[in-house]
Structure 1
């Protein structure tokens, strides 16, 4: 399948949270409807590859606008759940002047085309969601001439029921939904319970290494927790080149051990919590290893947004990671 560069969809808080919720709904045997944005023409809040999930109580995760366009999709999803329908194609066209004055108009001057998967097809996506979330594999999406939406992740595929496209023209371009970027938290502290949900909401997969009983509860809510010292935890978590790592033990010797281990690992970005004087002391003790860290190290970590305390620190770190992630 050829993927056009403009059809690469990032997570951006969408796909990981939607697919986590889908996995939960299917596990609880609760009917749901998965929706996928296949085409966008003109100005819109979202890009192709955006996912949404609907349940019996309405929208569960995801969005296509600031709230003005979702109601119609919710109504159609509710009908699919009630009638056990196979799916539906939906077009939301806000491009002409008349649309500006229509009820629930967004004023974005764009057209969005979505495919809603009925409850059965949505449930079949749970295996794909597991691979996407746990194995970090991308998801490929395509539409065939019969109007069937095909999704594959690794060696697992799902082909939806065939529904003829209700509009003329070429088929939507194939899409690649990238897996969530990963950040490793080496250590935990007072900012962790605030930082972890922020990062997950922004689309990050969050893994942590912490073994101290006092700090372990503060690392709750991560996607994966390894109870080990930092040098051992890094080996178990297998850092990759595209990963970000936060060193935040609030303990000088543990941070020194973590930085020494990171000197030989390929991750592209390392954030170190603490003041400049502390950073300088750590780097001095690391000796020659500090040269391998310097091009990747942000210390003190976080954008200077103002404020003090755990909430301000968590916000500054999340902002810095988000800036680095989208720098390219």
Structure 2
């Protein structure tokens, strides 16, 4: 849970971790199907709350995606979202669980905090789907400015969209506008699709990562699974094709292929590189790398990749790697 003693200003760089891509993909599907999805956005929090400032969730007649609480206040949000969809207004919803009565009531979160939510009827924002599609493309941060008077502004990569909706049930507050930043999702480039891949790639995808797998061996390409791109490219071409890679994982289960991948990654600015296998194997690989390559990897290479103590087997290894990447991701998001 997010915990703060003062209301949080949702400025650039403060968007929490999670998987907003799933929310926006579902919203796009709903709009294309002629439905009336409503995007709930946490614009302000105080105290202890389940959702941090900037959290997204989808309501309306679309499939429910994302969470604002552990499920306790979602019925109240759904009712307010239905009103926003019907009236095509921007609704504002205050959730207050600071007092003892709310703390122990059957519908409360069990958290001592306050949240202010904006509920946007997306069908009343023509063109918003283009901004969402552009963000899902992964290149840039999406900036959202919401005003109490009903003005909505989106900005991304030099483009801008603006609408003015009639505000509904606007609370009396000193603050009248909020700017929220939705940074691009992190990208993981996985070099080598071994037995961990059927568990690892879908897990990272469900956590909000953009996943690219590079594998030329037909056996492992077929076993890797679906739902994410699988590139049949040498490491140098795969890296060149994805310059916005944040994390690279070397997982060929093949000594020469891993050596070639490390040599390629040594010449890149990718900040986090993981190598599968024990320390002895890393030492043997380093003997075959040139001194400048070893020096370039120092400080960036995590080997053996994955958190210790998660168990044996492909699924346990996949879990340990995903957990370590989530730790790194969380550290990058702290101000």
Same fold by TM-score greater than 0.5: yes
Residues 123, 220 of structure 1: alpha-carbon distance in 2 compared, 3 angstrom cutoff: farther
Q: Shift of residue 73 of structure 1?
A: 1.0
Instruction: Tell me the equivalent position of 1:134.
Output: 137
Deviations 1:141-173 (A, max 9, x none): 222352323222221424351316322311243
- For 1:4 and 1:111, the matched residues in 2 are separated by 14
- For 1:306 and 1:120, the matched residues in 2 are separated by 45
Instruction: Tell me the equivalent position of 1:118.
Output: 121
5 Å matches for 1:262-277? 262-277=265-280
- For 1:105 and 1:124, the matched residues in 2 are separated by 36
Q: Shift of residue 80 of structure 1?
A: 4.2
Matched, 1:287 2:293: no
Structure 1 stretches lacking a partner, 5+ long? none
Instruction: Tell me the equivalent position of 2:219.
Output: 214
- For 1:50 and 1:192, the matched residues in 2 are separated by 29
5 Å matches for 1:64-75? 64-75=68-79
Instruction: Tell me the equivalent position of 2:55.
Output: 50
5 Å matches for 1:76-95? 76-81=80-85, 83=86, 85-95=88-98
Instruction: Tell me the equivalent position of 1:146.
Output: 149
Q: Shift of residue 211 of structure 1?
A: 2.7
Residues 300, 160 of structure 1: alpha-carbon distance in 2 compared, 3 angstrom cutoff: farther
Instruction: Tell me the equivalent position of 1:308.
Output: 312
- For 1:153 and 1:178, the matched residues in 2 are separated by 10
Instruction: Tell me the equivalent position of 1:231.
Output: 236
- For 2:313 and 2:34, the matched residues in 1 are separated by 42
The residue matched to 1:194 in structure 2 has which SS? helix
- For 1:62 and 1:49, the matched residues in 2 are separated by 12
Contact 1:54 1:77 in 2 (8 A): yes
Q: Shift of residue 293 of structure 1?
A: 0.9
Q: Shift of residue 239 of structure 1?
A: 4.4
Residues 129, 315 of structure 1: alpha-carbon distance in 2 compared, 3 angstrom cutoff: same
Q: Shift of residue 123 of structure 1?
A: 6.4
Q: Shift of residue 252 of structure 1?
A: 1.7
Instruction: Tell me the equivalent position of 2:258.
Output: 255
- For 2:25 and 2:323, the matched residues in 1 are separated by 23
Contact 2:11 2:179 in 1 (8 A): no
Matched, 1:100 2:106: no
- For 2:11 and 2:19, the matched residues in 1 are separated by 18
The residue matched to 2:39 in structure 1 has which SS? strand
Deviations 1:168-193 (A, max 9, x none): 31124322122211111112122112
Q: Shift of residue 5 of structure 1?
A: 7.6
Q: Shift of residue 57 of structure 1?
A: 6.0
The residue matched to 2:288 in structure 1 has which SS? helix
The residue matched to 1:89 in structure 2 has which SS? strand
Instruction: Tell me the equivalent position of 1:299.
Output: 303
Q: Shift of residue 286 of structure 1?
A: 1.0
Q: Shift of residue 202 of structure 1?
A: 2.2
RMSD: 2.3
- For 2:125 and 2:205, the matched residues in 1 are separated by 23
Contact 2:201 2:211 in 1 (8 A): yes
Contact 1:16 1:179 in 2 (8 A): no
TM-score of the aligned structures, taking structure 2 as reference length? 0.87
Contact 2:36 2:62 in 1 (8 A): no
- For 1:239 and 1:139, the matched residues in 2 are separated by 16
Contact 1:87 1:161 in 2 (8 A): yes
Contact 1:121 1:160 in 2 (8 A): no
- For 1:225 and 1:84, the matched residues in 2 are separated by 45
Q: How many residues align?
A: 321
